[in-house]
Structure 1
Amino acid sequence: MKKLLLLSIAFGFLLTSCGSKTQGELVGAKGKKWYPEKPYGMELIPQGAFIMGKSEEDMAKVMSAPTKTVTVRSFYMDDTEITNSEYRQFVEWVKDSITRTKLAILADELGLGPEDGGIGDYAFKDADTTKMSVYDKYMMDNYSGMGETGYEGRALNMDENLVWDTSDYPDEYYAEIMDSIYIPEEESYNGQRTVDVTILKYKYSWMDIEAAARSRSGSRKDFIRQEELEIYPDTTVWIRDFSYSYNEPMHNDYFWHDAYSDYPVVGVSWAQAKAFCNWRTKFKNDDQKDKGKQFVNQFRLPTEAEWEYAARGGIESGTYPWGGPYVISDTGCFMANFKPQRGDYAADTALYTVEAKSFEPNDYNLFNMAGNVSEWTNSSYDPNSYEYVSTMNPNAISGDNERKVIRGGSWKDVAYFLQVSTRDYEYQDSARSYIGFRTVQDFMGEEDPKGIR
């Protein structure tokens, strides 16, 4: 009997140890090998400390930026402002998604599927349950249709190309949906009927981590925020920003015409810039998921401290991104796009904005950190915030403060606003012809990586 017991123990030991590579040691849970990957169009800004604020005399006597030594962590930053072309990619994605949703809903109401052709080709993917995985079918049965419309959670058919040429519409139902995408016929003129931009709404959710971390009660769902907003830029800013001034060509052409594709997008509010960041994260992570890769960190607006640190380009106490204290180079050329003389906007060779990769970049290879367009940051504006923000990754953010910091100055500003330490603000729901933005992404790690791909 003892022999049988010993044999059983020995056999059990073999079962638990065979195939084990840990040999009973604490080696940690093994995941996939991970390498940092430099995002497209971004530059790595290494962690470091710097003197934030005005080290020189504040000529405007605002006194809102006293010097303070702070430290920021490593992050990636767009090497240019977000361009019209890049923002149009966001707009086109939203337009396509809304169109596909409308087509799928009508196909569902009509009981049509891919086997019926026409609008049925754009039916929800779950219209054919025979091709669904067990998990997808479970999720559809238990979670789809739980929103306001009853169609939330149902996957769109992204494989079928949308048809925009009216002569190729597959059936009358398709024509009906496309008709609802465009402005009413009575509002069109010169034979041009454009997309109704008021329907281009982006809906997303996010979690207020800071509020959740500081709260002593409440469940996770109490801190999930829902956002839905129109995302098309306000092109009327070119006229409304300047009274008794002829800027109609910019209103008509600046955002959509290919001639301006590489120019910075303007007419975008702080909320729209935040929505773009959310979409860019989703767009990238959808691709990561398809490739079986880990998700990337979210794209976001930079904090005020991150923006100033990046703008300085590693130059301590410089007045401008190129150092300073002058805005003209040794060869007599202006170093940025701004308003160099009273009433003379074109002395720097540009009347309005210039292409996003104009002028020389700073030492972090970032273009137009001074001039061209002012840039939204994620920080709220408080003239006294430097007195109380942390010295580690400082950020004064308040949901109750609708004034958001803008930095860098613009094509219509004087040189003072181009200084890396100058603070300015605009209300978060405002859109201007001289405000754009660029995004950042947190770097995974603390030290500067070697061999980033």
Structure 2
Amino acid sequence: LFVTEVTNKDYREYLFWLKRVYVSYPNVYKKALPDTLVWRSPLGYNEPYVNNYLRHPAYNDFPVVGVSWVQANDYALWRTDRVNEMILVKAGYINLDLQQVDAENFNTDAYLLGMYEASVRKNKPSLKPGEEEGRRITFEDGLLLPKYRLPTEAEWEFAASGLIGNTYDERVVERKIYPWNGHNIRNSSSKHRGKMMANFVRGRGDYMGVAGNLNDHEP
């Protein structure tokens, strides 16, 4: 699972790699391009986002948008291969190959199955007779990482329900009303006691905090 969002800069690195490596298969690069037209709306003028959001440096650290489920899965597999490749390079088992072209590029599954002939720097010592030169790294060595992936439907639903912090002895006893723990809209900490926790109120009324302490969250 990804811990943080994939940024525009991350995804542009992916696109650059696809375009550089898959010289004979330009459709691989084209299929990975995000749909920048998702910004268009009949009720707003979003053409600057359509033209600039993905590629302008000002949005480097913003999350990439317009990526389909299939494209996101392809990115996860690509990231798995690139991370495992660098792990082997930094550990000194293979050399970094910058001349990879088309299908002749590092793939984790192909490497583990012995179908990818990497530029070997050193081998792992082998205990099998007749393998004096050693062996390549296997998944059982604990060096390579498992595949990056998207959350499953059940994981998405659990996260959206906001159940973390509302369990008792591994039993879900209630659902959250708010993103934070508890059922109050005011802060209970000693430093910020009484202040509104978010930009909304339950029911009618103003957006002020406690008397004498302006805490106006009105949008």
TM-score by length of 2: 0.52
Q: What residue ranges of structure 2 are gaps of 5+ in the alignment?
A: 94-136, 138-142, 167-174, 188-193, 201-216
Quote the RMSD (CA, aligned, Å). 3.2
TM-superposition CA deviations, 1:150-203 (whole Å, max 9, x none): xxxxxxxxxxxxxxxxxxxxxxxxxxxxxxxxxxxxxxxxxxxxxxxxx3515x
Distance in 2 of aligned mates of 1:245 and 1:89 = 30
Which of 35, 43, 51 is matched with 1:234 structurally? 35
Distance in 1 of aligned mates of 2:148 and 2:179 = 23
Q: Is the 8 A contact 1:285 1:296 kept in 2?
A: yes
Structure 1 residue matching 2:36: 3-state secondary structure: coil
Q: Is the 8 A contact 2:2 2:149 kept in 1?
A: no
Cα 1:278–1:78 change in 2 (3 A) is closer
- In the TM superposition, 1:176-215 aligns within 5 A as 199=26, 201=28
Which of 9, 15, 20 is matched with 1:91 structurally? 15
Q: Which residue of 1 aligns with 2:76?
A: 277
Cα 1:200–1:262 change in 2 (3 A) is farther
Q: CA deviation at 1:235?
A: 0.7
Q: Which residue of 2 aligns with 1:314?
A: 164
Matched, 1:260 2:124: no
Say which structure is richer in strand. 1
- In the TM superposition, 1:342-353 aligns within 5 A as none
Cα 1:90–1:315 change in 2 (3 A) is same
Cα 1:305–1:321 change in 2 (3 A) is farther
More displaced stretch, 246-255 vs 293-302: 293-302
Q: CA deviation at 1:322?
A: 2.0
Q: CA deviation at 1:309?
A: 4.2
Which residue type is aligned with residue 181 of structure 2? G
Q: CA deviation at 1:320?
A: 4.0
Q: Is the 8 A contact 1:83 1:265 kept in 2?
A: yes
Q: Which residue of 2 aligns with 1:323?
A: 181
Which residue type is aligned with residue 59 of structure 2? Y
Q: Which residue of 2 aligns with 1:246?
A: 45
Cα 1:253–1:244 change in 2 (3 A) is same
Distance in 1 of aligned mates of 2:18 and 2:179 = 36
TM-superposition CA deviations, 1:65-90 (whole Å, max 9, x none): xxxxxxxxxxxx43332211211121
The structure having more radius of gyration, on CA atoms, is: 1
- In the TM superposition, 1:270-419 aligns within 5 A as 270-290=69-89, 291=91, 292=93, 294-310=143-159, 312=162, 314-316=164-166, 317-323=175-181, 325=183, 331-332=195-196, 334=198
Which residue type is aligned with residue 315 of structure 1? G
Cα 1:314–1:283 change in 2 (3 A) is same
Distance in 2 of aligned mates of 1:326 and 1:96 = 54
Which residue type is aligned with residue 31 of structure 2? E
Structure 1 residue matching 2:45: 3-state secondary structure: coil
Q: CA deviation at 1:332?
A: 3.7
Which residue type is aligned with residue 28 of structure 2? K
Distance in 1 of aligned mates of 2:195 and 2:67 = 36
Cα 1:321–1:96 change in 2 (3 A) is farther
Structure 2 residue matching 1:87: 3-state secondary structure: helix
Q: Is the 8 A contact 2:84 2:144 kept in 1?
A: yes
Distance in 2 of aligned mates of 1:285 and 1:325 = 44
Distance in 1 of aligned mates of 2:158 and 2:71 = 24
Distance in 1 of aligned mates of 2:218 and 2:73 = 32
